[in-house]
Each structure stands twice: as structure tokens, then as C-alpha cells.
Structure 1
Amino acid sequence: MEREERARKEEEELRAKEAERAAKEERAARRAAEKKKKEPKEDKLEFTKVVRMDVAMCIGGFQEKMQDQMRRNMKDFQSILKGKQRAASPSGSTGSYTSDRGVSEVEELSNKAERLVISEKRKRSPDGPVGDSPPVTLSPKRTPRKTGVKPVKLATKLQAATGTTTKKFTAHGETTRTPTRYTQRKGTPTTKIAAKIRSATRAKFIGDNMRVLAEYQAEDLKRMCKRDEVEYGNKVITVINIAEKRVEEAYGEADTEGEGKAEDVHETMDSVDEASDDGEDE
């Protein structure tokens, strides 16, 4: 029994070794086949790279040769046109050959061109009428009388100036503090204007002030608002508020009488626009 078991174990070991060896051989054969399949692709890629390099080098050399040949031909052609020297004899290389017929034609044309002279200058005749239509006449050129920059276009919705006041509390109750005095600008009139002046003068005064204030920067406008006790919204609204403040000081109008400030500003801007348009038409 022991002998049979030993013989059976030996046979199993031999079979296992043979199966393992067969598997190794099969794997090796498979790897070799895959390697053979990859080798042609790599060879093809290498071959295509080499071919591309050769073609690029050939094309580059051909382009250089063509450029050199074209430069030489252009030099020969220019020398023929100027008449300084005759065309050189054709060389042995292809492309640089120039036929005698072409050279003779070029020389003949250059000689004819040298003999051309303007004998009489052509004068332009007056335009005659065509059919029943009258001759064309152009209006004389007109230059504008005055040139200037268009006024600044302001927003349609305008905000009235509202001065800020500080309240002071006393023993008898709260009282409104009067605004602090400020130094007037050089251009502001010191005397009040008569009340019977037309609205056009008031509109012109507002428009002039707006044009001057539009050139100031934001920091300058903020300082002016702080000095004049005017609210600062944006640049357009601030310019309008300062202009209205100056109008009130110049014309002596109180805050209670200025309910139609926005309408006055609208009329002012309309008159300014009309004046600028009339100046452009003239």
C-alpha cells in the first residue's frame, strides 16, 4: 500500500511539473507572438519619421535654391530695364536660362519707354449739359463760424438741491442752526440781480455754471459740497445742485419759492442744447 501511494504521488508531481512547464512555454510563445506583432508597427513608425525628415530637408533645400534663382533673375531683369548692362549669357543650370528673344523684347520696350515724352498737357474742358438736364453746379464750401465742444448731456430725472441743517437742543426746545458762512467764488456775483430779468438770463446763468462745474474732478466737487452745504450724490446731480445754489444766491430766491427747480433746469438744458445746435448749423 505504501508503495502504491508513493508511486501515485510521484505521478501527480510529474503531471504538475509537466503542466507548469507547458503553461510557461505557452506564455513564452504568446509573448513572442505579441512582440512580433509590435515590431512591424515600430519599424513602420521609424520608417515614416525618417522619410518625413528626408522630405523636409529636400523641400527646404529646393526652396532655398528657388529663392536664390529668383533673386538672380530679378537682378538681371532690373539691370536690363535700367540699361546698365546686357543680360548675362545663360548658364548651364536649369531655371536661370533666359532666351535671346525675351532679352530683345525687354530692351525694345525699355528703349520705347525712354523715348516717350509728354508733348502737350491735356486741359480739362468745362462740363457740358447732358441731354435736357442742366449742368451740375456745386455749392461753395462753407466753414463753420465757431467751433466748440458740445455741452454735457445731463440725465432727464434731476434731483433738487436740499441743504442739510443741524439741529441744536436748548433749554427752551430744539432750534434749527443756521448754515455756516462761506467765501464766494470769484465768478459769483456779489449783488442780487433784479427780479424782472427774463428766464433766458437765468437759464444762461445755470448753463454757464454747469459747464464750468462739469470740468471739476469728484474730489473738488466734494469739497465744494462740504463748503456750500450741498448733498453729494453723483457728479451730474452734484453739478445741478451747486448750480441751483448759486442761482438762489444770485437771484435772491428762497427755498420756499423754488418748487419748480427741476423744470427750470429742464428749460435751461433745452435752451443750452438749442444754442449749441444753432451754432453748429451756422
Structure 2
Amino acid sequence: MNRIITSLSQVSAQYDALFVDLWGCVHNGVTAFPEAVAALQAYRASGGKVILVTNSPRPRAGVEKQMVHFGVPQDAWDSIATSGDSARAAMFRGTVGQKVWFIGQPGEEKFFEPLSIQKNPIEVTQVPLDEAEGIVCTGPKDPFADPDVMRPEFEAAIARGLKLLCANPDIVVDRGEEREWCAGALAQLYTEMGGESLYFGKPHPPIYDLARRRLTALGTEVPDDRILAIGDGILTDIKGAQGENIDSLFITGGLAAGETKTDRQPNAEALKAFLAKEVYDPTFAIGFLR
């Protein structure tokens, strides 16, 4: 059984680096959580490194701008690894072809800008579904619409054998008090219908490889047993950490607040029942990052 702690500082001395989820841990999609920010600032002041590891389909620069808007100060983190950057790198290697059908919202054109660190990217163009060699999905066109609205197009895509590149494996996210569907919900439906979905965010290895590269770029070599992953997604953050053999801190007051009966802290019995059902066992648990 994991250990319920009351603050990050109780265990942080065991680790030289943190891989920290953003949405639900550091901000709620509208504003920053002051206690979480303070905890990360204190950790960095003690010499630790903070890599923000997010399933956002945005490039790193876009997430940086978003955090300024939410009120997350730059002294709370060192670098950022996004699912979007990991997926973009794969797209520009030709993973789903050169002609792609795009599923996403207006304003996400930067996803199609090559990464400066990538050598010899292929040319990728957006085309209608009937001309596409593959699919790129950053999220639903309408985050409040049931993913089932995509069934007709998905049937046509599957009939043509198109692969779907998913830039954000999250199923849902809470923006303030509202819950929205994410790209992972569409990729899940596509797979259930018989299509092939490719993932590059948590819990899948590519984003952790990117996070380690970001850490190394800071001039810091940190072994896996000195890294702590922090997040509120049991099927993304915690499952991913287990797959990478790194310790984890489960934020129970995020997506699983209801199931774990979290007020300030989780109810121990409710947490135990939830983890038994999900079959994932974080190293530590806490109501909210602080």
C-alpha cells in the first residue's frame, strides 16, 4: 500500500528531479494552484530540477505562454516536455505519412511547424480525409461533444487503413469546473472500432525519453531511482511512471477526487479501493500538491 503524505517536502530529499504533470496538479486550466507553485519553488531552491511533463498537444513554447496566463511563475520549473512535441517529432519522421487529415481546434497550426532540434523533417500537408495517408489528432473539434460524433469519418478512415497519431493520450481534463474530452478519447474510440492509434504522451515511453533529454540538456544526469513523477492521472501519470520504473506521487484531488473522497486529503479506505480497482500502485499519495 502506498504512503499518504501531507507535503512534497516529506519525501523530496530522496529525489534529484521531478517529472510534474500540469493540469490538475499545478493549475486547473484557468489559474495556478498557489500551494503547488510554492512547493515546486521550494524544491528548486533546494537544488532539485523540475521538468513539467504534460500531455498537452501544444509545443513547449505554447505551454510556456499558457502558464504565464495561468499565473505559474518561471521559477517553479526548469524545462518542459510536451506530448505535442513528442508527437510532432514522430509526424515529421513520416510516421503517418506526408498527407494528413487533421482533427483539432482552430489556432493549433503551430503543431505543423517543424521542431528546431529535428534534422531533415519531411514536408507534411493537411488534406481532406479522402486524400489522406494518415490522421493527426490534437483533440476534438468540440471538446464538449460526445466522441461518437466521429464514427462516420472514422469508419471511412479505418476502411482505408489510416493510422491515427494522437498528440494527447488524456481521455478527459477538467477546465475549472467543466470536464472536456481530449484527443485520447478519440484515439480510444478509433482503436475500439478497429483502427490503429499511435500515442506519444503519458503513459507511453516517447514522452519520458523526451523528458530525460530535457533533463540532460540542463547539464544534469539523474538515474531513474532519483526521479519522482507527480500527477493526478492514474492511467497516464501513475501507469507511465510504473512502466518507466520510477517512483510516483498520486495527486488524488484531481481527476479521482470523487473516487478517493478527497477533501484536503484522500480517504484512506476509498483510496485503497480505487487503487485496487485500477491495479496501479503509486509510491505516495497526497490530496493536492503542496
Which has the bigger relative contact order, CA under 8 A and spacing at least 6?
A: 2
- Name the structure with the higher strand share: 2
TM-score, normalisation: structure 2: 0.18
TM-score, normalisation: structure 1: 0.19
Bigger Rg over Cα: 1
- Name the structure with the higher helix share: 1
